[in-house]
Amino acid sequence: MRLINREPSRPVAIGLALLPFIALILAYVIASQIRLAENPSDKLLPSLATMGESMWNIAFVPDRRSGDLLFWVDTLASLQRLFIGLFISGAIALFVGCLAGFFPYARSFFAPFVAAFSLVPPITILPILFITLGLGEAAKIGLVVIGTTPAMIRSLAQAILAIPEEELVKAQTLGASSWQIITRIFLPQVWPVLLAALRIGLIPAWIFLVSAEAIASTEGLGYRIFLVRRYLAMDIILPYVAWITLLAYLTDRMFAWASRVLFPWAHLKGGGL
Amino acid sequence: MSFVAVSDLYKSYGPAPILERVSLQVPRGEFVTIVGASGCGKSTFLRMLLGQEQPDRGRIAVEGMPIPGEPGPDRGVVFQKYSVFPHLTVLQNLLLPAEIEKSPWLGRLFGESRKTAKAEAEALMEKIGLSHAAKRYPAQLSGGMQQRLAIAQALLKKPKILLLDEPFGALDPGIRQDMHELIGEIWREHAMTIFMVTHDIQEAFKLGTRLLVFDKVRHDPQHPGAYGATITYDLKLNKPAIASGNGPDESEAMPGDAAKEEAIP
């Protein structure tokens, strides 16, 4: 049988999926052991045990100065900023994207501006945000919003434009008013697109969140990574990176699951990720 | 006065005329099939009857009144595809017309009124053979089932005129036969006036009481887009409008202008 026609069985597929992860961890452990054998106080590739110990201390032993469990304080602060930011950008995108999708006048008004604005590198706006909004939460959330909104607006407006005109005409022949067409035909078809846009927005959202935290913050996952960098504390940085990745993955899965449960009709064609 | 009167219609897209000098009188209860080459403007003609597009010149009147400039519930439509709403199940699709009519703000019905609408929808599902698929979404239906749903949904508003734009064009021949029977039954039962655009000339002869052929009369070989199409053949097919016996307005179905049988050019 040709290779292109061979499909792995389920256990084989799971095994193949796990292989790169196992290989990465194995490679790390070997490299770490080689370095530590030469110099037991090497900080660059700490052993898994050292990482576990450091993480235990930061997660379950109260900080000597503040008495906080730093790992959970960081996680909570970052997730809070991330979700507030995504909520705001989702709301803006829904509003502007729908206007631009429904009404040609609104499209002419918004489209060029959104296209131009989306090309401004968001990180260059960060100093402006710090100057105008101060170093508090608003600036960090603002950066997440600015970094994710333009792309979300565009994908929502695009999705509304992609609704076939036939549906619009058919609704009119059923006697629907403009309001009923928007609330019963358009909006229900926009919700799953909003969830998909939020999933895509997750990646830039994390990038800008960590950047903002790195520059000015007193807690947060990004803040911690850049703080302990000064002490070459790879035993904290590496687990934090893995933790951020896991959080991003779980958030993405959560949105995907919510979309499938709430809008089953939107997941009938093709597989999708 | 004819039920549908089209007089001297002209339509162009930009500088290119699509239709010119289209005039037509259609009595109530006629099943008009429309054929013609691709791009000859037959779908444009249907969209103008629908109110989705406006003629540049000429007028279309139904029962003596010019049609409004937008689609409305007196003219139902079934397209080749996208005629049903993908985010609604079969049952929800069939409930939608009642919900739209009776609940202007929420677009949803509750309690007794919902029960009534549901009973009507269920009766209709039974009739078109979709009861077993009530909870399925259109993407989970075959092409034939989707079109049956689309026709049923359009019928719920009891339109006086039903416009069909190649409704069976994407279906298998066997399924198409079934659909022909269904649409024939519906036409006789509801005493509707139907305009149907099709690519299938056999279908046009089989279903219609009257066959219109759209084509260009004038050609400029140097400038193929110079002239628009018009009705070149207007054939009265050899059957009465609304099959005799059960048509409610048989008398009207024998048009005074049946003499217009000859080819126009």
What chain A holds in terms of domains, given with CATH numbers, is 68-267 (1.10.3720.10)
B169 reaches A (C-beta below 8 A): no
CA dihedral B75, B81, B83, B87 (to 10 degrees): -170
Nearest one of B18, B11, B58 to B225, comparing CA atoms: B18
CB of B67 less than 8 A from some CB of A: no
The answer to whether the CB of A102 falls within 8 A of the CB of A186 is yes
- Domain ranges in chain B? 4-74+159-262
Find out whether B231 and B211 touch, Cβ atoms under 8 Å: no
For all residues of chain B together, what is the average pLDDT?
85
Cα of A66 to nearest chain B Cα, Å: 52
> β-strand B75-78 against B65-66: which pairing, if any?
unpaired
Q: What is the pLDDT of residues A13-60, one digit of tens each?
A: 999 999 999 999 999 999 999 999 999 888 899 999 999 999 999 999
Q: Inter-chain contact B72–A175, Cβ cutoff 8 Å? A: yes
User: Which among A169, A184, A265 has CB closest to B50?
Assistant: A169
For residue B75, the chain A residue with the least C-alpha distance is A173
Residues for chain A: how many in total?
A: 273
B228: contact with A, CB 8 A cutoff: no
Task: Name the band, by pLDDT with cuts 50, 70 and 90, for residue B246.
Answer: very low
Is the minimum CB–CB distance between B162 and chain A shorter than 8 Å?
no
- Smallest CA-to-CA distance from B44 within B63, B31, B30, B60 is with B60
CA of A192 vs chain B CAs: smallest distance (Å):
10
Q: For residue B104, what pLDDT band results from cuts at 50, 70 and 90?
A: confident
Distance between CA atoms of residues B192 and A167, nearest Å = 23
Chain B interface mutation, best of A170, A178, A191, highest count of B Cβ atoms under 10 Å: A170
| pLDDT value, residue B241 | 57
User: Which pLDDT belongs to residue B170?
Assistant: 83
B-chain residue closest to A174, CA distance: B73
Q: Does B152 touch chain A (CB under 8 A)?
A: no
Q: Give the chain A residue nearest B162 (alpha carbons).
A: A173
Collect the ranges in chain A with pLDDT lower than 70: 270-273
Tell me the chain B residues in contact with residue A173 when contact means C-beta distances shorter than 8 Å.
50, 71-73, 75-77, 154, 157, 159
Contacts of A180 in chain B (CB under 8 A): 100, 104, 107
d(CA A195, CA B245): 57
Q: Distance (Å, rounded) from C-alpha A12 to C-alpha A40? A: 39
Cut 0.95: pTM above it: no
The answer to whether residue B75 neighbours chain A at the CB level (below 8 Å) is: yes
Question: B245 pLDDT band (50/70/90 cuts)?
Answer: very low
Q: Which residues, other chains included, contact B243 with Cβ-Cβ below 8 Å and sequence gap of 6+? A: B188
Q: Hey, are the CB atoms on B156 and A189 less than 8 Å from each other?
A: no
- Report the topology of domain B4-74+159-262: Rossmann fold (3.40.50)
* Cβ-contact B22, B197 below 8 angstroms: no
For the cut 80, the answer to whether the pLDDT of residue B95 exceeds it is yes
Share of chain B above pLDDT 90, in %: 42
- Cα B260 to Cα B25: distance, rounded to the nearest angstrom: 9
Largest distance between two CA atoms of chain B? 67
Instruction: For residue B4, report the phi and psi dihedrals to the nearest 5 degrees.
Output: -115, 125
Count how many pairs of residues, chain A against chain B, have C-beta atoms within 8 Å.
81
Of the segments A144-148, A156-160, B226-230, B251-255, which one has the largest average pLDDT value? Answer: A144-148
Interface confidence (ipTM) of the complex: 0.85
Chain B nearest-CA residue for A189:
B87
DSSP secondary structure of B169-181: TTS-HHHHHHHHH
For the cut 80, the answer to whether the pLDDT of residue B263 exceeds it is no
